[in-house]
Chains A and B, each alone.
Chain A
Amino acid sequence: MTDDTPLGGGSPLIDAHAHFYHAEAGRADWARVNQVRLRAGDRIGITYHVASVLGSYGHTSPTYFPSPADLTRGNDAMAALADAEAHRVRWYVTVNPNHTAHALTEIDRGVSRGAIGIKLLASRRAHDPLLDPICERAADGSLPVLHHIWQHRTREWPNQEVSDGRDLSRLAERHPQVSFILAHLGGGGDWAHTLPAVQAQSNIFPDLSGSGVDRGMIDAALDALGSERVLWACDVTMETGLAKLRALDVIGLGSDARANVRWRNASRLFGAHAFPRCQSAASAAAVGS
């Protein structure tokens, strides 16, 4: 490996769960944090960040219960960033299902500006009927839905109406045409509960992001779901993302299975057209092999 080789290896890599900040997110260092994400992404070898902006991140409405106005501003900021970084950033349009009309309008507006998926937070329990019109719109547009999840909901937690794998499975069962990305398997709660909760629901795809790096988690996810249903991602801790990439290299996965987790699954969910550099890199590798 040369000094120029990315720390996470040279083959395509899609971070299916990233976030960026903006000027109205209540923190003065927002631009620095965005730049650090892009810098670290280059160092790791992330080909594409699939990202969202979560309203005002609590500055003018709660992060997990964002107001329509904050969502609109946040989605505008996200679209602008994706335009500016078009070679490496794709985006989810974020909506709050408690405001159905705004959510549907915002999805259409986002897609018209290039959004390739929908981000749902914890504004309403995942199995609530209010999510149905959003999922119907997702099905119509072939838009994957990234849903914030608490791994094993044992009680209510403050500042969010959390859902777990069981809750998301109920929603996914009602909408078999929609692909649901179950957020941050390593992001808090008991991942061991999530795996059997979603195992039978084949349109749920957990991402590996989160600060948690429990030993055994990746192995268990792959054993339960297979490499075709697990997505690599970072969320807010990119060092744990790199650690998980390196763990993928030592747990005995074949090259196809590693490629599935690194990028192919994301490419299948979002559509290959969304990630042209992954396709060209894979084609070049195939020619060279």
Chain B
Amino acid sequence: MGYLEGFAVTFNKLFEERVTGEYKAKGEGEKRDKPERFHGRHVLNRYEDGMEKCIGCELCAGVCPARCIYVRGADNPPDNPVSPGERFGWIYEINYLRCIHCDLCVEACPTQAITESKLFEFSFTNRDDAIYTKDELVVGDDGMPQKLPWEDWRPGDDEHTSGWMRATSPGGSVAYQNTVSWSGELGYGVRSPEMGQHAPESEPVAAGGHEDHDDHADHGGH
């Protein structure tokens, strides 16, 4: 009776050990550590000297499958530039009611400006609050994501925000796979290579980045 075997399978499962864990471990009040490359709320990174990495190229908005990113670029004011180079992200908005945290924006970004933290516990009481603007997304002066009052940050959520980006070849070029070719970040400097990656022996032409910022304007647009 092949039809009834399935019923025995499900019935026996009743007495088996559970394979899932608690969302919040009982008694401890702490949540489990998240994986290093967890996709959470975005941050907009800055260079070590405090300049914003975003150049307003709108590649993230173009690649976004959920159409949740809105970017407008503008020319840098010559006397007080926001980012190194010609342009900067003037408006940057992410609608978290639509974002699916696929990280395609992170992969598309030519300057590694947008990366994701591990924060996923945040809620809103109206739709306007769900649209994060640049004020909320840009990292603070210590290089850490801003911790907004309605967000539930846990220790470790704000570290390794560029984990996923570092796992792939930032330029998208196979030649640079497993090669350290990411730019320095405010508060962190140049992140060290991960397992299986190595620092470049000679400086790659198009993927350098931890020297002067004048250089970034050159490879930012390639």
State yes or no: do A and B come from one complex. Answer: no
